[in-house]
A and B are shown apart, each in its own frame.
Chain A
Amino acid sequence: MIQFAQVSKRYESGHEALRNVSFFLEKQEMAFLIGRSGAGKSTLLKLIIRVENVTHGQLFVNERNITRMKDRHIPRLRREIGVVFQNHRLLHDRTVFDNVALPLVVSGVGHREIGRRVRAALDKVDLLSKERLYPIMLSGGEQQRVGIARAVVNRPPVLLADEPTGNLDPLLSDEIMDIFHQFNQFGVTVLVATHEYRHIDRLRKRVLELDNGRLVRGASEEHG
């Protein structure tokens, strides 16, 4: 599903964020990406959605080599990947419903279908009753759940999350991780960047650990 083959990333400043990273994340697999701040977790996720380009190596997503993908194909790639951000990235002048509907509108889904799928997604994160509220009226945990609903509403085969529980208390944090776990059980490939080892111990999923840009754990489960 996601394959890194000897991937390196060097920024223009000269900083080498990733060095020869190789791993294979199988379809319907769930893994945690861990490491200290600056270890390269966010860079790795950015490469998958082509916010950044690979400097060396090859990167495959959904069996497509995205290393040299043309810019005009990037929007389509991103529609196939749900992303949950630490800071939610919600649009504050739109309602919860409209925020969640955004990926469907962008994909050109029909009006009725949008209504049906948005409500289904909001139901999964237990926010159906708040569809008409604006994000500013919600708690941090609720905002993060809106972000998750938006990430999954387009039924992407891959779900990425960058420190999704960073600003939440332990109880809410567990709730959010449980939601990711549920999506994984429905067949979605999930990769969660986190620094909270508690979740790893609790959910017992594969761990990919980065240290100073190198993959120091999890590569042994490499396939292909």
Chain B
Amino acid sequence: MTEYLLRHVQVLLASFGQLARAPGSTLMTVCVIGITLALPAMLYLLVDNTKSVIRNWQGRPQVSVFLKQHVAEQDVLSLQQELARRPETESIELITSDEALEEFKTRSGFGQALDILSENPLPASIVVHISDDAGDAAVIEALVRDIETRPEVDLAQWDLAWVKRLHVILKLVQRAVIVLAALLGLAVIIIVSNTSRLAILNRRDEIETMKLIGATDGFIRRPFLYGGVIQGVLGAVCAIIIVSVCLSLLDGPIAELLALYHGGFAMSGINPRTISMLLVAGGVLGWLAARTAVGRHLRRIEPQ
């Protein structure tokens, strides 16, 4: 077992050596892989941060339940308790008709002019703050329809338009990230595959000699596979650097922009999870590309 591992370490080091012997082309390949991986990584972080913004937004999803006039206090309390128990509910807030009138006076600018009204025309309302785990727009829509069936309720209202729009946009961007990542992953495979193909052709004589002395295809393939993995992982490291630099450049302006809408949100940078994902993706794509190229070309090389 030790011998087996030792041999793999030797092949790994030899693969590093092979790449180091052509520093120009290796650096170029690594940079191209880096840029290719950095693009979907940036978009992924953009989507991730947008989700966080929505979650932290002061105008987070909420349903305003307007009660009918003259509903008994007991019925209001019962409805309040029922809404609080629902899984979609984060918290609830009761606004009495008097509180509503006071707020209206303050915000509308009519002030004392409203005192001439003999009766308060505003109904009491319950504001249901929706939990983060409530799910998508369809769940909240179902909740609204359910609340509206209650006899005490005059109107249940949710600003569906912007939330729906935002959810759709986010889904679209998420899908776009997946498609882009797949296309760019394919690009990485093509890049590494081409590098491996050239490496194989450059070492044609060596491969023929190895076959003549009894090396199996698996044995000959090994250094090329390591080469592919090394290039993929180095490309991922390059991508991490690119993303980190871009995020540090964008961090200030984005924080300024968000501060205009609400405070307390800090943009999350490239985290250990994203770093691991990039390294694994780079390694796997490099391996896959080398495997494809070597498999195809190795069969064609036979000793003469």
B and A form one assembly? yes
Using a CB–CB cutoff of 8 Å, the interface residues on chain A facing chain B are 49, 51, 75-80, 83, 85, 89-91, 102-103, 105-108, 110-111, 150
Give the 5 A-B CB pairs with smallest separation, nearest first. Answer: A79-B214, A78-B214, A106-B215, A75-B214, A75-B216
Main SS class of interface, A = helix
* In the complex, chain A residues whose CB is within 8 Å of the CB of B3: 108, 110-111
Q: Chain B, 185-221, contact with A by CB distance < 8 Å: what is the 0/1 string? A: 0000000000000000000011011111111100100
Pick the contact of A78: B6, B212, B304 (CB < 8 A): B212
B7 within 8 A of A: yes
- Return chain A residues, CB-CB under 8 Å to B302: 51
Q: Measured between alpha carbons, how far is A83 from B211 in the docked complex, in Å? A: 12
Q: A51-B302, A106-B219 are in contact. Are A91 and B214 (CB under 8 A)?
A: no
Instruction: Please list 19 pairs of residues, one from A and one from B, whose beta carbons are closer than 8 Å in the complex, sorted by A's number.
Output: A49-B212, A51-B212, A51-B302, A51-B303, A75-B214, A75-B216, A77-B214, A78-B211, A78-B213, A83-B213, A89-B208, A89-B209, A89-B212, A91-B206, A102-B210, A102-B213, A103-B213, A107-B214, A150-B213
Contacts of A89 in B (CB 8 A): 205, 208-209, 212
Query: Which residues of the other chain, B, contact A79 by a CB distance below 8 angstroms?
Result: 213-214
Known: A75-B215, A106-B219. A111 touches B210 (CB 8 A): no
Which single residue of chain A is at the shortest CB-CB distance from B302? Answer: A51
Q: Could you tell me if A103 and B214 are in contact, using CB atoms closer than 8 angstroms?
A: yes
In the complex, the answer to whether A105 meets B7 with C-beta atoms within 8 Å is yes
Quick one: given A91-B206, A111-B3, A111-B6, are A106 and B213 in contact (CB under 8 Å)?
Answer: yes
Contact B209 A76 (CB under 8 A): no
Which residues of B are at the interface with A, using a C-beta cutoff of 8 A?
3, 6-7, 205-206, 208-216, 219, 302-304
Closest beta carbon of chain A to B295's beta carbon, Å: 14
Q: Which has the most chain B C-beta neighbours within 10 Å: A75, A102, A103? A: A75
Q: How far is the CA of A107 from the CA of B215 in the complex (A)?
A: 8
* Complex CA distance for A55 and B231, rounded to whole angstroms: 44
**Which DSSP category, helix, strand, loop or mixed, fits chain B's interface?**
helix
- B209 pairs with A91, CB closer than 8 A: yes
B215 to chain A: which residues have CB within 8 Å?
Answer: 75, 106
A90 to B211, CA, bound (A): 13
Given contacts A51-B304, A111-B3, A111-B6, contact A106 B212 (CB under 8 A): no
Q: What's the least CB distance linking A34 to chain B, in Å? A: 22
Chain B residue at minimum C-beta to C-beta distance from A112:
B3
Q: What 7 new A-B contacts, CB under 8 Å, besides A51-B212, A106-B214?
A: A51-B303, A89-B212, A91-B206, A103-B214, A106-B215, A110-B3, A111-B3
Chain B: minimal CB distance from A78 (Å)? 4
Q: Chain A residues near B214 (CB, 8 Å)?
A: 75-80, 103, 106-107
Residues of A within 8 A of B216 (CB): 75, 106
Bound-state CA distance A100–B208 (Å) is 16
Q: Which residue of A lies closest to B4 (CB)?
A: A108
Residues of B within 8 A of A75 (CB): 211, 214-216
Contacts of A150 in B (CB 8 A): 213
Complex alpha-carbon distance, A164 and B121, angstroms:
112
Complex Cα–Cα for A85 and B304 (A): 12
Q: Which residues of A contact B205 (CB under 8 A)?
A: 89
A90 to B208, CA, bound (A): 11
What B residues does A78 contact at CB under 8 A? 211-214
Whole-angstrom CA separation of A139 from B303 in the bound complex: 25
> Which A residues lie within 8 Å of B211 (CB)?
75, 78
The CB with the most chain A CB atoms within 10 A, among B205, B215, B304, is that of: B215
**Inside 8 A of A90's CB, which chain B residues have their CB?**
209
Residue of B nearest to A51 (CB): B303
A91: which B residues are within 8 A, CB to CB?
206, 209
In the complex, which residues of chain B have a beta carbon less than 8 angstroms from the beta carbon of A110?
Answer: 3
B6, B208, B210, B304 interface centre (most CB from chain A within 10 Å): B210
Q: With a CB–CB cut-off of 8 A, which chain A residues contact B303?
A: 51
B55 to chain A, nearest CB (A): 56
Query: Using Cβ atoms and an 8 Å threshold, which residues of chain A touch B219?
Result: 106
**Distance from A206 Cβ to chain B, minimum over Cβ atoms (Å):** 25
Contact residues in A for B304 (Cβ distance below 8 Å): 51
- A80 to B214 CA separation, bound complex (whole angstroms): 8
Return chain B residues, CB-CB under 8 Å to A85: 212
Write out the residue numbers on chain A whose beta carbons fall within 8 Å of the beta carbon of B213: 78-79, 83, 102-103, 106, 150
